Chain A
Amino acid sequence: MIWFKQLWMRRRIYSDLSEEIRQHLDENIEALLADGMSREEAEQAARRQFGNVTAIEERGREAWIYPFIESLWADLKYAIRQLRKNPGYASTAILILALGIGATAGVFSLVDAVLLRPLPFPEPNRLLWISQQDHSLPGMATESLSYPDYFDWREQNRTFSGLASYVGGGATLQTTGESQRLDSQTVSSNFFTVLGVAPILGRNFEWNGEKPANRAVMLSYSLWQSQFGSARDVVGSSIHIDGHNYTVAGVMPNGFQFPIGNPAPALWKSLADSADGKSPMTEQRGFDALGVIGRLKPGVSEDQARADLSLIARNLARQYPDTNKQYYSALVKPELEHLTGDVRPAMRLLFGAVTLVLLLVCANVAGLLLARGSSRTGEFAVRTAIGAGRSAIIRQVLVESITLFLCGGMAGLALASGLVHATLKLMPVEIPRIQTATLDARAVVFVLIVSSLTGLLFGAFPAWRMSRAALQRSLREGSRSLSGGTGQHRLHSGLVVAQTAIGMVLLIGSGLMMRSFLHILSVDPGFDPKHVLTSRVGVSDSLKHDQHFLFYQQLLTRISALPGVQSASAGWPMPMSDNSAHISFNIAGRPVAKGDEPSASLGLAIPGYFATMRIPLITGRTFGEQDGLKGPPTIIVNQAFAKKYFPRQNPIGQHIQVGLGDDVFDHPVREVVGVIGDIKCKGLAAEAEPQYYLPYAQAVVTNPYLVVRSNVEPVAMQRAISSAIHELDKTVPVYNASPLQQYISDSAAQPRFQAFLLTCFAAIGLVLATACFRTRLYNAPSRLVCGWLSARNDPMFLP
């Protein structure tokens, strides 16, 4: 390793040498001056005596450069010549290495993009994700904050320089003549300050933007480009969103996005809208829906922040037991960890698997190197005989193997780039930040390090063995080339066993993964997703309750009349979509203290929804005309609900009061009229949870999903449905149109992605295992065939 050190230290050495020579001349000049010469004479004499300074410096330097560069260069040239002379061997090894290193680099790029790269904000490790813990549920589930809780946390904490809130939703942007449904976030005034990113145009939100009537909006760069033609005067102007006027505060820089995930928000609204109305969201302590992100003060630890916020939470739980008694501690974790928490194990699994593949590849190539080495024993023996030291032979073999691994690495890079590209294109998977994966400089550095290290590690043993073998052969058998002795074969067998074992691990792993994936696919979701198109319509929030419902009634009548349509209805939430709401309820005759009410997943349905979705009715009836605006309040529960809350009773005829109120219905007591089958709402692998449905006419709280069952392919219906909607109202935007089947396939995207990649790895393992046996075959005959044959194939190389 001395030459490595020299390489780094050489600059120092050279400057020392120059300095030393200068001092030498000075000292000589002084001595001559002391002898009585004039300065000019002394300088000339000293120079003459010393000779050509540059030439002497150069000769001094040669001591350092010459042997190192010369021999390494020679080794490298020789290694390349060796590879070119044996194209079969070289291409096999390089191909195998390219597979292993390419797969590893590809997965590294994915892991790097998702897990390793820091968040794109200044000082990202001071950003914490913040939430509260629900102590009433097993495992202390996390729960979002409500606005009043958030305001209290924001004002009372001492450990954060800022806490910001955000909550997602849709927004209908109305421009002249058309309207468009966009993904939006409603954020606190300090949101952009906490993230540390300023708008490129305009100003930040101001605190009075949290008061009603001060509606302000921040545009994303892409919306500013696409919708406003990058006009700079858009700042300060008024735009129309959801029937209200918003002042454009500014435009965020290109690429800015928070929260990170799909879809990216197109705009950010101030809290003004949420603070408006009779009972505004900003005053409801039970409305737990906010995401909160905080920026730690410098030098404050995560634990200190947690303790600080938990103290506030404990006080609030005491102060507001009705809404907060189960939330008496805070949960904080680094934002990056929160973002990638769910996919961390999967990414680690992939990286582990690909490391196994790399090991397998290395073992395989080490086997090739050994086999190749034993056919070159003669050559090494000659070298030893004419004076090559053992270290020289080791170095040469090492240079050869590193060259080989680096060639493999380069080919692997090309493969990795294809792999990343194909993976992202063919396997759309909802993993945050994965779409940003590219084969960048970090990946190239990674490949260089991996190739050199593995080349060094896996070349070292063959090199050591060859140098030893060369020594022995040169003593005993001269140039006769024979394959190694028992030691070598033990080693070969060891490599074969190791490779088979690694291959088995990969195969079993991918088999298990495949099985669980297939198992997931075979799960009955509880509804029939075939031939159903779903879509949402952005009906304005400013419509009155009955107008809203009337719109859907008219729309469904029109859609049902379209040719090819079997049935059409609407409901919420769409199974496997991210939407869900847990609302507390009381069962008549079972009084509980306020704050202790059970809660379950809320659903909404327009008559015909269960039939269109083919969700089976177990007992009672489904919603009909009688469950309208003026009808008696009713409710339908699913089997899981009935089993949990009415285990030994008939649920039909029971009364439930749901904690969901609006301007029309204020927490009515509802009669259970039916029980429907369970459906999978949170993915095929998840258990069905207790759920209840309210008639949409009696609970207009959001835009439901249209569901249209047809005789033809659902995509073919899309245009007809859109035009039916626009015939009714030109201005409403249609969004989220997709076949129902898509939701199911998306929900299984991650297991499919894992199963696919693991299967690829196992396939590589299989190929290599075969190659491994071939190596053994390649090696075997050389024990039988006479020495002259291999000696002729590999002419001795005399220096």
Chain B
Amino acid sequence: MPMTFSKKAEQRDLFRGALEMMILRSLIRQPMHGYALVQHIKHRSNELLQVEEGSLYPALQRLLEDGLLRAEWEISPSKRRVRTYRITPSGKKHLEREVSSFERMLEGVTRVLSPVEL
């Protein structure tokens, strides 16, 4: 149908949008390339989260396409040619929105799950 413009829902290990949020959040701290992102998320989550490359690269492409990130080829400190991602201003705005709606959702879920009525 002409009006179904949204992309097909992706199968994700986490809930919808979590990986994107984490990518954006990580890149606010500093620009990074793909491999470093994987390592960074693993490290930050105390090895709780294992980002699969199979999800990371398509997610990065979607974020690029949406204009939330931009990428450039650079030489890393270890003298390696890497494609470094940076967050764009609209990426920052998007992250703010997503985080706040995530927090609201989390609050709701927490309330429902909590055994005592507050």
Contacts and interface: CB of A to CB of B under 8 A. Distances in A.
Interface in A10-41: 13, 16-17, 19-21, 23-24, 26-28
B57 A21 contact: yes
Interface residues of A, number: 40
Contacts of B83: 16, 19-20, 23
A200 B15 CA distance: 77
A596 B60 CA distance: 88
A16 B61 CA distance: 11
Given A392-B2, A799-B2, A56 B35 contact: no
Contact of A63 (B54, B58, B71): B58
Nearest to B58: A59
Nearest to B39: A31
B52 interface: yes
A799 B82 CA distance: 44
Interface string A699-722: 000000000000000000000000
A23 B80 contact: yes
B35 A67 contact: no
Interface in A377-399: 383, 386-389, 392, 396
A55 B6 CA distance: 21
B30 interface: no
A62 interface: yes
B13 interface: no
Contacts of A60: 57-58, 60-61
Interface string A62-76: 111011001100110
Max chain A Cβ within 10 angstroms of own Cβ: one of B1, B2, B34, B53? B2
B81 A386 contact: no
B16 interface: no
Contacts of A61: 61
B21 to A, nearest CB: 17
Interface stretch (A46-54, A486-494, A496-504, A681-689): A46-54
A386 B3 contact: yes
Contacts of B71: 16
A755 B36 CA distance: 75
Contacts of A320: none
B82 A63 contact: no
B94 interface: no
Contacts of A396: 2
A74 B54 contact: no
A258 interface: no
Contact of B5 (A50, A71, A78): A71
A24 B2 contact: no
Interface residues of B, dominant DSSP: mixed
B12 interface: no
B54 A51 contact: yes
A51 B2 contact: no
A51 B61 contact: no
B53 A50 contact: yes
A386 B1 CA distance: 12
Given A16-B83, A49-B53, A60-B58, A24 B5 contact: no
B65 A63 contact: yes
Interface in B53-78: 53-54, 57-58, 60-62, 64-65, 71, 73
A239 B26 CA distance: 91
Nearest to B66: A63
B64 A63 contact: yes
B53 A56 contact: yes
B12 to A, nearest CB: 12
B57 to A, nearest CB: 5
Nearest to A50: B53
B53 A51 contact: yes
B53 A27 contact: no
Nearest to B64: A63
Contacts of B8: 66
Interface in B7-57: 7-8, 33-35, 52-54, 57
Nearest to B63: A63
A56 B58 contact: yes
Given A55-B54, A63-B65, A20 B34 contact: yes
A59 B57 CA distance: 8
B85 to A, nearest CB: 10
A62 B57 contact: no
B52 A51 contact: yes
B110 interface: no
A176 B54 CA distance: 88
A62 B58 contact: yes
Contacts of A66: 7-8
B100 interface: no
Contacts of A63: 7, 58, 61-62, 64-65
B4 A23 contact: no
Given A16-B71, A392-B3, A396-B2, A23 B81 contact: yes
A75 B4 CA distance: 11
B51 to A, nearest CB: 11
Nearest to B50: A49
B29 to A, nearest CB: 20
Max chain B Cβ within 10 angstroms of own Cβ: one of A16, A20, A75, A799? A20
Contact of B35 (A6, A19, A28, A59): A28
A75 B35 contact: no
Contacts of A64: 61, 65
A66 B7 CA distance: 7
A502 to B, nearest CB: 35
A388 B3 contact: yes
Nearest to B71: A16
B100 to A, nearest CB: 23
A388 B61 CA distance: 25
Contacts of B34: 20-21, 24
Contacts of A78: 2
Max chain A Cβ within 10 angstroms of own Cβ: one of B5, B54, B73? B5
A688 B30 CA distance: 89
A20 B65 contact: no
Nearest to B3: A388
Contacts of A388: 2-3
A27 B61 contact: no
A14 B57 CA distance: 12
A52 B54 contact: yes
B54 A56 contact: yes
A74 B2 contact: yes
Max chain B Cβ within 10 angstroms of own Cβ: one of A70, A75, A396? A70
A334 to B, nearest CB: 48
B19 to A, nearest CB: 13
Max chain A Cβ within 10 angstroms of own Cβ: one of B3, B33, B54, B65? B3
A28 B6 CA distance: 34
Contacts of B52: 51
Given A799-B3, A799-B4, A24 B58 contact: no
B82 A17 contact: no
A57 B35 CA distance: 15
Contacts of A67: 5-7
A26 B61 CA distance: 20
B14 to A, nearest CB: 17
B53 A392 contact: no
Nearest to A22: B81
Contacts of B33: 20, 23
A51 B55 CA distance: 10
A67 B4 CA distance: 9
A688 to B, nearest CB: 71
Given A62-B7, A63-B62, 6 more contacts: A20-B57, A51-B54, A55-B54, A56-B53, A383-B3, A388-B3
Interface of B: 1-8, 33-35, 52-54, 57-58, 60-62, 64-65, 71, 73, 80-83
19 contacts: A13-B61, A13-B64, A16-B71, A21-B53, A21-B57, A23-B33, A27-B35, A28-B35, A52-B54, A56-B54, A59-B58, A62-B7, A63-B7, A63-B65, A67-B6, A71-B5, A74-B1, A78-B2, A392-B2
Q: What 8 A-B pairs have minimum CB-CB distances, sorted nearest first?
A: A799-B1, A63-B61, A59-B58, A388-B3, A60-B61, A51-B54, A63-B62, A20-B83
